A and B are shown apart, each in its own frame.
Chain A
């Protein structure tokens, strides 16, 4: 009995000290981590809309699953100096190698570009969806276009599926944007 209490107490004391130490480290690293998270989103939004002067989250579009199993995490309303608005949709869709998390930019009836935050596509092939050479074709592209690789989209050699899924995501989210966000706000 005495032995059990002694062992239990030793574990308890050591675990408590460990927890306190971690709480202390967390208290000064957490603000930094939150700041880094915000900065990475801000940089990504700036990548799509370089002339932005601020953005707000739109709580009404949080965590929505739309067609083709695309999960919209959140939507940012981006302000420009001339008083106009653009929209950035942060969403997760299924790529070739797993989930792909991206930001999709839209303004008026056009796609304004795409920025991939996280992906697990094949290195050297599907991973080229992050390259500017591939993504620049989605800047200022009319949402009424078909968005089909080898027709109006230049596919990545050897990564047809990665090219297809991202084009499809831009089109599907674009449709959602036109029906709910663009139509609802103007």
Chain B
């Protein structure tokens, strides 16, 4: 039993990584991972929404009628998302400005709805907590690593501070969505290579 719960946590990190293996909700990943600061903000916002909504669905799963589950899921996702949006606008205005519409768009992020529907609605609270934590960390490490590569090589800066000499010509393709896609593909290839070798 204990081992099973641990597995629910670790699967999100690599084996069922939401970005690299499940590959849902890539649009906001591409848009937000151009800056490290944005990626960290998005990771925090996304993790908060995912954990809260998965837990709410899991707690109330017995009283949610099957026919109207999707609207109820959406309320459970939209409320924490709006809270994140309002709090960010009030206390971190520059971050909220640079992420623009992608914070409110967490509402329709497929990973959140996917995890809620496929996992939280069927499993107990403890397993759901483990799953959401694993998925949140799995999402965060990929998007932050992606943003570090994109910001340092694409703009020559890290968290807005210049780290590469001015003579370095930035690979600005990396700051565009196509560059992001290439990088994600490279990540997926590396991860699949490692997973294949193991099994």
Contacts and interface: CB of A to CB of B under 8 A. Distances in A.
Given A22-B83, A29-B86, A124 B172 contact: yes
Interface stretch (A2-10, A66-74, A82-90, A103-111): A2-10
B87 A29 contact: yes
B146 to A, nearest CB: 16
Q: How large is the interface on A (under 10, 10 to 19, 20 to 34, 35 or more residues)?
A: 20 to 34
Contact of A25 (B68, B86, B172): B86
Interface in B3-40: 34
A29 B85 CA distance: 10
Interface string B154-167: 01000000000000
B82 interface: yes
Interface residues of A: mostly helix, strand, loop or mixed?
Answer: helix
B65 interface: yes
Contacts, number: 60
Interface of A: 3, 6-8, 10-11, 14-15, 18, 21-22, 25-26, 29-30, 32-33, 36, 40, 123-124
Nearest to B56: A14
Interface string B63-79: 11101100110011011
Given A6-B65, A10-B68, A124-B172, 13 more contacts: A3-B67, A11-B71, A11-B75, A14-B76, A15-B71, A21-B79, A22-B82, A33-B89, A33-B90, A123-B172, A123-B175, A124-B155, A124-B175
Contacts of B60: 14
